[in-house]
């Protein structure tokens, strides 16, 4: 909990031409929330750009900024992303400034494709990082020394925090507030922003329901039933009976509707549910395996290796620095 004895933390947000407006405005709004109702403000926010003045975002709306001073030493540096990162990555003056300032910060962070700017400055070599799912492959190709974790909302590696696309900057900023001021302050900030569910860094950028192709709402009820009964056997004939169809016809129509087989769909749901429990709780792996239908930890471990390339315990360790 923040108190008057704590010094105000300086937050510097870096923008550039064609930045994504929400990449800056989202974290700014999060850091604003804890200052309300406090006698001593926990944060002081300043928006910076290389030369200062109005900076046009990719939407056409502009944001005012202060020129980056050579001796800037904020507590936390936040580098926004957006279409303008493609030019920012080759702006040597901007990269030099970010590299220099980062050497004096307690935390250096990025939102969405702002990760490319940190990588271009050489700050992420040998570190784990993430960015918008659409640009993760490009990040890995362009900067092979960066360990890209594509399936993450945000990633912390030491003092460096990187986040996925756009709204993930809000999740990142809430995590930074929690890191500074505690869980209750972060929870209050989320409520003020009407963020109903604060996502943790280990949570996937994707979900099974986003990944499948639902041609109609025909199996909506069945899918809800599957999600509520993951610990059951869930054979094809069992699901077919729940759908009121013959097993053969059910398997054919389900694949046509979703683009995947019933068995594969169930495994994806189990993996998603198990991974969330592994990364966001301290539940024993045996309990997680039983609750999500894998039955035993070894079967779950094999499924994790096949899907994620890492066993559950490694993913659990990676959720914290």
The catalytic residue positions are 112
Which strands make up the sheet holding 107-110, listed edge to edge? Answer: 66-67, 43-49, 9-14, 76-79, 107-110, 160-163, 154-157
Find out whether 68 and 32 touch, Cβ atoms under 8 Å: no
Gap between the Cα atoms of 90 and 43, Å rounded:
31
Nearest to 172 by CA among 184, 160, 51: 160
Give the Cα separation of 165 and 130 in Å (integer).
9
Q: Which residues on adjacent β-strands are paired with residue 258?
A: none
Gyration radius (Cα) of the chain, Å: 22
Q: What six digits make up the tokens of 208? A: 């099974």
Q: 3-class DSSP state for residue 204? A: coil
CB of 74 closer than 8 Å to CB of 100: no
311 vs 301: CA distance, rounded Å: 5
Instruction: Give helix then strand counts, H and E, for the chain.
Output: 15, 11
Which residues, in sequence order, are bridge partners of residue 45?
Answer: 11
Q: What are phi and psi of 220, to 5 degrees?
A: -55, -45
User: What is the β-pairing status of strands 76-79 and 9-14?
Assistant: parallel
């Amino acid at each position: 909990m923040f108190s008057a004895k704590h010094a105000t933390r300086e937050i510097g947000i870096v923008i550039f031409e064609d930045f994504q407006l929400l990449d800056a405005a989202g974290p700014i709004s999060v850091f604003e929330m804890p200052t309300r109702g406090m006698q001593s403000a926990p944060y002081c926010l300043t928006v910076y750009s290389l030369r200062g003045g109005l900076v046009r975002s990719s939407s056409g709306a502009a944001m005012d900024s202060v020129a980056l001073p050579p001796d800037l030493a904020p507590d936390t540096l936040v580098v926004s992303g957006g279409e303008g990162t493609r030019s920012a990555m080759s702006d040597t003056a901007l990269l030099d400034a970010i590299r220099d300032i980062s050497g004096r910060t307690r935390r250096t962070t990025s939102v969405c494709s702002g990760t490319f700017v940190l990588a271009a400055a050489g700050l992420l070599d040998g570190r784990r990082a993430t960015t918008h799912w659409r640009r993760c492959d490009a990040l890995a190709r362009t900067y092979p020394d960066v360990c890209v974790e594509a399936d993450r909302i945000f990633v912390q590696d030491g003092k460096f925090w990187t986040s996925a696309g756009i709204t993930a900057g809000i999740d990142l900023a809430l995590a930074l507030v929690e890191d500074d001021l505690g869980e209750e302050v972060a929870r209050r900030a989320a409520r003020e922003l009407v963020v109903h569910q604060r996502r943790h860094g280990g949570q996937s950028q994707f979900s099974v329901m986003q990944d499948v192709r639902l041609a109609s709402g025909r199996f909506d009820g069945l899918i809800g039933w599957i999600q509520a009964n993951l610990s059951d056997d869930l054979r094809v004939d069992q699901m077919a009976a729940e759908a009121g169809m013959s097993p053969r016809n059910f398997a054919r129509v389900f694949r046509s509707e979703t683009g995947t087989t019933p068995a594969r769909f169930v495994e994806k749901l189990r993996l998603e549910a198990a991974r969330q429990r592994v990364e966001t709780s301290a539940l024993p792996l045996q309990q997680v395996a039983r609750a999500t239908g894998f039955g035993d930890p070894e079967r779950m471990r094999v499924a994790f290796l096949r899907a994620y390339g890492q066993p559950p315990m490694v993913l659990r360790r990676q959720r914290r620095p």
